[in-house]
Structures are given as structure tokens and as C-alpha cells.
Amino acid sequence: MKINREYGILSIPVIVGALGYFVDIYDLLLFGIIRKQSLQDLHLTPDQVTSVGENIYSIQMVGLLLGGVLWGIMGDKRGRLSVLFGSIVLYSLANIANGLVTTTGQYMLVRFLAGIGLAGELGAGITLVSELLPRNKRGIGTSLVAGIGLTGAVVAYFISKEFNWRICYYIGGGLGFLLLLLRISVYESGMFHEVKKMNVQRGNFFMFLNNRTRLRKYLASIFVGLPTWFVIGVLVSFSDKFGEAMGLGAAIQPGKAIMYAYAGISVGDVLIGLLSQKLRSRKKALFIFYGLTIIFITLFFLQRGGSDERMYLICAGLGFATGFWAIFVTMAAEQFGTNLRATAATTVPNMVRGALPLIILLFKWLRGQTDYLNAGIITGIVVMVIALLAAAFTDETFGKDLNYIEE
């Protein structure tokens, strides 16, 4: 097999991949940004806004978990582009439907379907870019995809300030269908075409489970990314509740906190790609950003009677520190052969997202044993310990030749 070396950092696959992830993140984070506004509009009480909001967030993540497996298998069996086309149609239709909901039951169902659709975008995009770019550029290329794409959350915030929440969902659906037109110019991975000609199993999810080494690598790839969704799904998304518990001087707007966090993540994702390139190591760069994550989580919980501006700045710092999303997905793609690569790169980030309901369950249980702040602290410690141990046992993949298969 031969890798097509003609693609550069700013080639069409990278640009379209970045725009695809931009739309993906816009739609994925939109609920968190307009959660209060939309649920209040459906006549929920303040307590229901919190509890139903957690439930909708969780069901969306379950959809991402299921979709990650479905799209990952399809990516290895039918091609990376089939996922990029199919997933965008599903989540665009789901977001348009989201603008029409009138009950919380409908809301949950549509966010579940949107989650399934959104699950395919990043993994298939990262896999395609990783296989099209030469090995000395793929870390930067995938970081640019994520860095540019993650600004979708910032755009979602500003659009939410100008339009009704239903219109925000319609805009997300429309952006998806516009992106569909751009996808026509992108070619399939040459590696996939070559593997397709061979008599090997492709997209067999159980191959991760029937081999001890593969299973270890797969589980470690998932656990490495857990801090990202603890930070976004718990600390930032419910920053208003943490602010109340800390006695901050002003009410915190979760949508604004998410916007600040994702502005930080987009910068962090680009810089960690450059850092890993300079260090010639994915793992060293990851551990540096883990250290920053621990620092900003500590600063988050040290707030007492502070200001809302300080909370937003700390959320930006948390976002920057957890801006290792692209690197950890790239590492997952690099861990496995071409016949399982899309399955790994698509399921791993969605397994991380799908772990959010479990993290929230732990957080809720701890709230029953202690107070809101201590529950958050203990949950954070558990998540970071798991991630650090997983990273320590993860193989270094910088500069790895991806031209191989799993048998």
C-alpha cells in the first residue's frame, strides 16, 4: 500500500474536515448553551430545568455512544466518506426536528437521534486526514481540524444571543446540508481502497475484545480522554450551580461558560499539535496538558465569593488545558491497523462522550454523600487518576507508519 503524499496541511480534506467538525461541535454543544432557555420555554420549573437537562445531556451521550459503534464499523466496511455523508444527513435532519419539539419527551428522542448522527463526524474525519497526510504532518493536520472545528461552540453561543433557540437548531441543520455539498470534492482514503481489495476482516468491533493487547490499547485510548468530558459535561455545563455553591457575586451563564471553554479548547488543540511535533511525542505533550488540567481544576474549586468574570476566565483555562481532544483521537487512530482504524477513531471519542452519564451518576451519588463542591472534587480526582494511569500504559505513536492491518 502507498500513502498519497500530495496532500498538505491546508489541503481540501483538512479544510473540509475542519468545517465538518465546526458544524458537528455547533450542533453538539448547542443544547448545553440553550439548555435553560429552551427548557424554560417548555414550562419547566427551575429544579426540572436542572434534572431534565442532565437527563437530556445523558441521553444525547448514549446516542453518541451507539452512533460511534455504528459509524465506526461502517467506516471500515464501506469507507470513511460513507460515514461523513450519512452522519451529516442524520444530524442535520435531527437538528431541524429539534426546532419543532413541544415536549421534553420529544426533546430527548430528537437529541438521542442527533447524538447518533453527530457520532460519526470527528472519527471518520480524523481517520481520513491521518491516512491522507504524510506522517510528519498528520498531528498538525488533525489538530487544525479540531482547533478550527471547536470554534463552532463559540459561534453557537453568539448565534444563541441573536436568535430564538428554535432558530438556532434550524441554523445548525442548514449548515449541515451546506457542508454536504462541500463533501463532494473530497476523495476516499487510498489506504482504505487497498485494504478493501484484501481478504481481511474490516470493522469487526469484537476484534478489540478477542485479543489482550488490542483490548488494553482500546481501553487505554478511551480512558485517556475522560477529563475532557468531566470538565465540559460537569464543571462548565453546570458552572451556574457550582457558582451558587461557591457564593459567587453574580449568576453564571452556562452558555457563556461553554463559549469561553471552547474558545480555550480550540487554541489548546492547535498548540498541542505543534507541541507534540516539537517534542516528537504525543504522550509528552498529553502529560503537559494533563498537568495544566489539574492546575485549572484546582483553581476552579478554590473560588469562594469571587466574580463571574473570574469563573469565565477559569473556564477558558479549563478549556485550553483539555484541548487535547484531537491528539487523543489521533492517538487512537494510530494505535490500530487500517482495517480497524475508523472503528477505533470513531468509537473511542464517543465512548468517552458516552461515559459522561456514568460520570454524572457518580457525581449525583457523591452529592448524596457530601455537598455539591466536594462531590465535584472527588469526581475530578477519580477521573484524573484513571486518565493518568491510562496514558502511562498507552503506546507512543508519533511518526508511526499507518500502513498495516490487524490480524
C-alpha grid cell for residue 53? 437537562
Report if pTM > 0.75.
yes
pLDDT of 192 reads: 65
**How many CB atoms within 10 Å of residue 209?**
11
Among 347, 356, 360, smallest CA distance to 66 is for 347
Longest dimension (CA), the chain: 65
Domains and CATH numbers, the chain: 12-182+210-392 (1.20.1250.20)
Q: What pLDDT is recorded for position 51?
A: 85
C-alpha distances (whole Å) from 180 to each of 23, 83, 92 are 11, 12, 10
pLDDT score of 8: 63
In this predicted structure, what is the pLDDT of residue 218?
93
The pLDDT assigned to 4 comes to 43
Predicted local distance difference test score (pLDDT) of residue 3? 39
What 3-state class would DSSP assign to 271? helix
Number of Cβ within a 10 Å radius of residue 352: 28
For residues 383 and 235, the answer to whether their CB atoms sit within 8 Å is no
Q: How far apart are the first and last CA of the chain?
A: 16
Residue 13: the pLDDT is: 75
- pLDDT in tens for each of the 407 residues of the chain? 343 445 666 777 788 888 888 888 898 888 888 888 899 999 898 888 888 888 888 888 888 888 888 888 888 887 777 887 888 889 899 999 999 999 999 999 999 999 999 888 877 777 778 777 877 777 788 888 878 888 888 899 899 999 999 999 999 999 988 888 877 767 666 676 677 777 777 768 888 888 999 999 999 999 999 999 899 989 998 899 999 999 886 788 888 898 899 889 989 988 998 898 889 899 999 999 999 999 999 999 998 877 889 999 999 999 999 999 888 888 988 898 888 888 888 889 888 887 888 898 999 999 999 999 999 999 999 999 999 999 999 989 888 877 777 77
